[in-house]
Amino acid sequence: MAKIFVTRSIPGPGLPALHDSSHDVAVNPNDRALTTTELHAGIAGADAVLTQLGDKVDAAFMNAAGPQLRCISNYAVGYNNVDVAEASKRNIVVCNTPGVLTDATADIAWTLLLGVARRASEGDRMIRTNGFEGWTPTMLLGGDLVGKTLAIIGAGRIGYAVAKRATGWDMKLQYVARSAHGDFEALGAERVELDAALRAADYVSLHVPLTDQTRHLIDAARLKLMKPTAYLINTARGPVIDESALVDALKSGTIAGAGLDVYEQEPKVHPGLAECANTLLLPHLGSATIQTRSEMSHLAAQNLLNVLSGSRPLHAVNDDVVTRLGLTA
Ligand code: DGY
């Protein structure tokens, strides 16, 4: 019987599947993230841990769990919170939940894009504060979409799903990626360099993972390349944008607006972002649909149970460890 620790309760079939297994399962009983001390105490002796994207899974975490730790199953597609190299060194399989949250996240990118361009939250606030005094020819004029250029930065599943939706608005598509992607080309998207995309686009949507290379990919210099009428959308990870530089750009009119679902110091949000009327700010809702969270739940639990039973997880981040451990069935 293996010991499993779940760092925070998740909806859907994942927890019942873990409880139905023959393993000893403990779940964080609080409806909040654990402090580092609580987390490290909870995982002590665990063979597998089901983690959240806010958990710092570093060498100290792995030491706290102990040498028997075999699997870290992250309840997210992103795994920038996990030190994968350290886990691989220790033959710990790291798993994630790709695929099932693609459409939900693409829909949130479009919620932000449409919402910020058409000033939906400003309009909503106007109504709620009794500021609507009737239609006027100049009230809350926003940006158009049809025929405009959308640049997708990062050509993975979510970027593609965002691009696909843009065909409904007859937008011109550009994408930024290290190599050509047939699926984007089939949509008529043109592959361009990042700086060229920033200069040309009316809308820029970020879909890169957070790595040392993408941290502050969008900094003050790159924001200055964008058109003053352009909008920046981020549903990837907060630190991809230099948030202070973004606040300056929004306040000075360097760009027209930003729609954000993720933040540099999550859950803290740079106070300047909320001061700007030209932002639409969501609290990391990308995958927040009932069906998506349920599918993530199934994947995260199954990944972990597979590793514990000696079989191949559905989605491992470090496949080299899966092979080395002979988890092939
Ligand atoms: C992920 O899975 O990485 C998302 O950010 C969670 O919504």
pLDDT, tens digit (0-9, with 9 covering 90-100), for 120-152: 999 999 999 999 999 999 999 999 999 999 999
Q: Ligand 1 pocket: which residues have CB below 6 Å? A: 53, 76-78, 101, 286-287
State percent of the chain over pLDDT 90. Answer: 99
Integer CA distances (angstroms), 241 to 236, 238, 270, in order: 10, 6, 12
Q: What pLDDT does 99 receive? A: 97
CATH number belonging to domain 3-100+290-325: 3.40.50.720
pLDDT, tens digit (0-9, with 9 covering 90-100), for 52-92: 999 999 999 999 999 999 999 999 999 999 999 999 999 99
Q: What pLDDT does 300 receive? A: 98
From the CA of 104, give the closest atom in ligand 1. Answer: 7
Sketch the domain layout of the chain as residue ranges: 3-100+290-325, 102-281
Protein residue with its CA nearest to atom 1 in ligand 1? 76
From the CA of 286, give the closest atom in ligand 1. Answer: 7
CA 261 to chain centre: 8
Protein residue with its CA nearest to atom 4 in ligand 1? 76
Mean pLDDT of 276-281: 97
Torsion from C-alpha of 44, 45, 49, 52, nearest 10 degrees: 0
Q: What pLDDT does 328 receive? A: 82
Protein residue with its CA nearest to atom 7 in ligand 1? 287
Protein residue with its CA nearest to atom 3 in ligand 1? 78
Residue 292 pLDDT exceeds 80: yes
Mean pLDDT of 169-187: 98
State percent of the chain over pLDDT 70. Answer: 100
* Residues designated catalytic: 237, 266, 284
Mutation probe of ligand 1 site: the residue of 57, 101, 294 with most atoms within 8 A of C-beta: 101
From the CA of 235, give the closest atom in ligand 1. Answer: 5
1, exposed or middle or buried, with CB in 10 Å at 0-12, 13-18, 19+? Answer: exposed
Mutation probe of ligand 1 site: the residue of 10, 53, 82, 262 with most atoms within 8 A of C-beta: 53
pLDDT, tens digit (0-9, with 9 covering 90-100), for 28-62: 999 999 999 999 999 999 999 999 999 999 999 99
CATH number belonging to domain 102-281: 3.40.50.720
Give me the phi and psi of 111, to 5 degrees please.
-60, -45
Instruction: Give one word for 174, left, alpha or beta, with left for phi > 0 and alpha for psi -120 to 50.
Output: beta
The reply to whether 3-100+290-325 and 102-281 are identical in fold is yes
Confidence label for 329 from pLDDT (cuts 50, 70 and 90) = confident
How much distance in Å is there from the Cα of 286 to the middle of ligand 1?
A: 6
